[in-house]
Amino acid sequence: MKPILVDFDSADVPDLFSYQPEDPEVFGFSLNLAVGIEGQKGADNFQLMVATPKYIQKMYPNQTSILLRHYLLVFRYDFNEILDVINGYIRSINEDIWEKVGEKVGRIAQWEFEDYKPYQK
């Protein structure tokens, strides 16, 4: 199975391609990704935070260290470059079943089914 980025959007940034942060060194936003399988309908949702180091410092001013997951650290805003990094990772995945694909994409972005367990009586 070859996963592909089917769609993306951000509730924080209406137009990701024309967006220019007020401060190019201090910005962060949530990015939603729809990832599916090449040639098939449907996709699962994943979410990650795109942020600069200074934005992270601003968000955690009293911390000397933090653990991060589901973040893409950037040093300047270039949405084409951000897409290239995400697409490169997604396209590098090759698994036999969707659950494995979801787990691997889930290493960089929070999968809507992360930690999902079927209900059992």
49-105 per-position pLDDT tens digit: 999 999 999 999 999 999 999 999 999 999 999 999 999 999 999 999 999 999 999
pLDDT, the chain, mean: 94
Residue 67: the pLDDT is 93
Report which residue type is found at 32: N
User: Model's pTM, two decimal places?
Assistant: 0.89
- Nearest partner of 7 among 61, 78, 87, judged by Cα: 87
Distance CA 66, CA 77 (A): 23
* Phi/psi of residue 25, nearest 5 degrees: -100, -10
Residue 120: the pLDDT is 80
Residue 114: the pLDDT is 75
